[in-house]
């Protein structure tokens, strides 16, 4: 059995979901009440691979909402309690979705293995980042040609390059795609220099310097609230893969020739009979589309690979991306692409 550990995208949407699910006490509760509420295993469902194999999954809502991010102890407890619930529910492999993996990594929860009388087994959890990185790379490779961008002549900026997903994307793009130039953008100088040395190339630039040079921008960090992108300075066409969380680039960069694609999202070959996940997720086709990190838990379960496949920071190697990518195709996932109507040359064709 696989598990998905997730949360609503906002307190307001969480309350609406509680109302729809028939939990009026939660729908009417204030944020204080939600901070004390324990995680809930809200749904079980079956998923059938393109190969015909069927597995059972469970969705655990951590009852975390992004409004709790400033409360360190609350956020930490939400993530650890949700993981404990997954473990005690007998789930073989669970993906940490949304902010839960970000909180896990940034609050260094690896040292919090003991919670009450439970010792968390890390091998039961995956960040899902290997699949997310592979999907983002597929999106670059698939969508660039549709916009008339030749990768061999293209400049690709990776924003958040030194992160777990960002560094994997850089490795893949530099070794597998032959992009003309890679621009490395991140906050900390030393990890950037280390990455540059590992890649044997790539130019380190500030965000505002990188954007006007880039044919493709891969965002694996979201733009801070309040910051804007000068759309006028961007190249046309410009492909923007929004792989950060939460996904908010489409409200920051718009204009003719600017194509924003939700990054790290996959579509399954058939509808999944899940209700809560569909309602909680902000997807165009919620019965088929999901975060690639969630799909990684499914893939590991389909493959009977019950291990923390994606774990730790900057461990993602290309052979692992190949493996998860092959599994992804085999079981019926494909990377989300640009809608045809948003590409003028295709819409008129």
Partner 1 sequence: MTCPYPLDMPSLDTPSPVPAAENQGLPDGLPDFGSSSYKSAYSRINAIVIEGEQEAHDNYIALGTLLPNEAEELGRLARMELKHKKGFTACGANLGVEADMPFARDFFAPLRNNFQKALSEGKVVTCLLIQAILIEAFAISAYHIYIPVADPFARKITEGVVKDEYLHLNYGQEWLKANLDTIREEFEQANRDNLPLVRRMLDQVAGDAAVLQMEKEDLMADFLTSYQEALTEIGFTPREIARMAASALVG
Q: Which residues bind partner 1 (CB under 8 A)?
A: 22-23, 25-26, 28-29, 32-33, 35-42, 66, 69-74, 77, 81, 84, 88, 99, 102-103, 106-108, 116-117, 159-160, 162-163, 185-189, 192, 204-207, 209, 221-225, 227, 244-246
- Beta carbon nearer to partner 1, 169 or 343: 169
Pairwise CA distance, residues 297 & 126, whole Å: 7
Pairwise CA distance, residues 146 & 337, whole Å: 10
Q: Please report how close the Cβ of residue 177 comes to partner 1 at its closest, in angstroms.
A: 23
- Beta carbon nearer to partner 1, 225 or 348: 225
Q: Please report how close the Cβ of residue 162 comes to partner 1 at its closest, in angstroms.
A: 7
Q: Shortest CA distance to 83 belongs to which of 69, 102, 101?
A: 101
Q: Please report how close the Cβ of residue 286 comes to partner 1 at its closest, in angstroms.
A: 21
Using DSSP, state whether 46 is helix, strand or coil: strand
- Beta carbon nearer to partner 1, 69 or 199: 69
Burial class (CB in 10 A: 0-12, 13-18, 19+), 10: middle
Q: Please report how close the Cβ of residue 45 comes to partner 1 at its closest, in angstroms.
A: 13
| String of DSSP letters for 128-172 | -HHHHHHHHHHHHHHHHHHTT--GGG-EEEEETTTSHHHHHHHHH
Q: Please report how close the Cβ of residue 40 comes to partner 1 at its closest, in angstroms.
A: 5
As given in the structure block, the two tokens for residue 153 are 């002549």
- Beta carbon nearer to partner 1, 70 or 348: 70
Alpha-carbon 21 to chain mean position = 26
Pairwise CA distance, residues 316 & 310, whole Å: 7
Pairwise CA distance, residues 70 & 92, whole Å: 31
Q: Please report how close the Cβ of residue 59 comes to partner 1 at its closest, in angstroms.
A: 10
Q: Please report how close the Cβ of residue 136 comes to partner 1 at its closest, in angstroms.
A: 16
What does the DSSP 8-state code read for residue 6?
E
- Beta carbon nearer to partner 1, 160 or 325: 160
- Beta carbon nearer to partner 1, 84 or 296: 84
- DSSP H helical segments within 22-128, as ranges? 24-28, 31-36, 72-88, 99-106
Q: Please report how close the Cβ of residue 90 comes to partner 1 at its closest, in angstroms.
A: 11
- Beta carbon nearer to partner 1, 59 or 294: 59
Q: Please report how close the Cβ of residue 23 comes to partner 1 at its closest, in angstroms.
A: 6
Pairwise CA distance, residues 50 & 35, whole Å: 40
First to last CA, the chain: 45
| String of DSSP letters for 223-270 | PPTT----GGGS-SSEEEEE-SSS--GGGTS-STTEEEEETTEEEESS
- Beta carbon nearer to partner 1, 228 or 348: 228
Residues 6 or more apart whose Cβ sits within 8 Å of residue 117: none
- Beta carbon nearer to partner 1, 172 or 245: 245
């Amino acid at each position: 059995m696989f598990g998905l550990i997730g949360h609503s995208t906002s307190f307001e949407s969480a309350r609406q979901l509680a109302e729809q699910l028939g939990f009026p006490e939660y729908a009417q509760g204030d944020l204080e009440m939600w901070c004390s509420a324990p995680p809930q295993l809200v749904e079980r469902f079956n998923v059938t691979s393109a190969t015909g194999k069927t597995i059972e999954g469970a969705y655990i809502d951590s009852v975390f909402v992004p409004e709790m991010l400033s409360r360190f102890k609350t956020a930490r407890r939400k993530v650890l309690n949700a993981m404990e619930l997954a473990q005690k529910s007998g789930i073989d492999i669970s993906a940490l979705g949304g902010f839960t993996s970000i909180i896990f990594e940034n609050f260094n929860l690896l040292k919090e293995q003991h919670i009450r009388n439970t010792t968390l087994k890390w091998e039961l959890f995956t960040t899902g980042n290997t699949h997310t990185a592979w999907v983002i790379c597929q999106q670059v490779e698939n969508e660039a040609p549709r916009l008339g961008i030749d990768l061999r002549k293209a400049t690709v900026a990776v924003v958040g390059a030194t992160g777990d997903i960002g560094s994997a994307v850089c490795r893949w793009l530099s070794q597998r795609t032959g992009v003309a130039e890679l621009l490395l953008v991140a906050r900390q100088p030393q990890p950037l220099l280390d990455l540059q040395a590992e890649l044997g190339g790539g130019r380190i630039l500030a965000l505002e310097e990188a954007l006007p040079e880039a044919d493709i921008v891969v965002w694996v960090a979201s733009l801070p609230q309040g910051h804007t992108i000068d759309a006028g300075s961007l190249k046309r066409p410009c492909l923007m893969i929004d792989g950060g969380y939460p996904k908010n680039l489409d409200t920051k960069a718009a204009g003719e020739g600017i194509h924003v694609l939700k990054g790290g999202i996959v579509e399954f070959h058939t509808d999944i009979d899940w209700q809560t996940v569909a309602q909680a997720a902000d997807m165009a086709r919620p019965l088929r589309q999901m975060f690639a990190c969630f799909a990684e838990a499914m893939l590991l379960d389909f493959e009977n690979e019950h291990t923390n496949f994606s774990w730790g920071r900057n461990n993602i190697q290309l052979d692992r991306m190949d493996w998860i990518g092959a599994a992804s195709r085999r079981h019926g996932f494909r990377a989300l692409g640009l809608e045809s109507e948003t590409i003028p040359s295709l819409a008129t064709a």
